Chain A
Amino acid sequence: QVQLVESGGGVVQPGRSLRLSCTASRFTFSNHGMHWVRQAPGKGLEWVAVIWYDGSKKYYGNSVKGRFTISRDNSKNTLYLQMSSLRAEDTAVYYCARDRGADYFDYWGQGALVTVSS
């Protein structure tokens, strides 16, 4: 069964940076695009970013564009989200999700909580 495990969450002060990781297993990571999706406490899902299977293309949601960077290391089966200039409104559980055909999200990780607070 596909497995996605996020790590790197925690409490960070406004304006600081944090990097999330998502380690993939039990599938060929380099064959799939990957997404980050977040969910603020008590709120709905918000799409954050996508990276193509080979890292050649990256797209971002308006609320994080210019502050967040998605990347991947196919040799390590790992997806990253570098978050900078963090704001209180970035507080959320961040999920990584596997892309299927640039269409939908077929597997999700368990999520990593990021809290931005002074």
Chain B
Amino acid sequence: QSALTQPASVSGSPGQSITISCTGTSSDIGSYNYVSWYQQHPGKAPKLMIYDVSNRPSGVSNRFSGSKSGNTASLTISGLQAEDEADYYCSSYTSSTTWVFGGGTKLTVL
């Protein structure tokens, strides 16, 4: 149950696009399309942003998109806004019927 690998931090200017990667193994991301992404603002509970690799829940901006290739999933945020500044976590179901999170990525909007 090793954590998925995410960059510790990314940054971008308002209006720009950024991508956060999330690397796992053939036992999690590589075998299932059960990858989800969560946004967490300081002191708040996580919020679901993307599920099943690339699906957005109702109410989530279409500026958020997800994809996957092999053992690596990615979250892209386009048209960056100040309110997007937060921590982002990826998660995947695993072959052991457990779930694993990434270490988290702190997004700074410059």
Contact = CB atoms under 8 A, between A and B. Distances in A.
Interface string B30-59: 000010101010000111100110000100
B46 A108 contact: yes
A44 B97 contact: no
Contacts of B40: 45
A57 B97 CA distance: 10
A62 B46 contact: no
B51 A104 contact: yes
Given A45-B46, A95-B46, A110-B45, A102 B93 contact: yes
A12 to B, nearest CB: 22
Which range holds the interface residue count of chain B? 20 to 34
A13 to B, nearest CB: 27
Contacts, number: 65
Nearest to A98: B48
Interface in A49-106: 50, 57, 59-62, 95, 97, 100, 102-106
A57 B34 CA distance: 19
A28 B51 CA distance: 21
B45 A44 contact: no
A99 B85 CA distance: 26
B48 to A, nearest CB: 5
Contacts of A110: 45
Nearest to B51: A104
A45 B36 contact: no
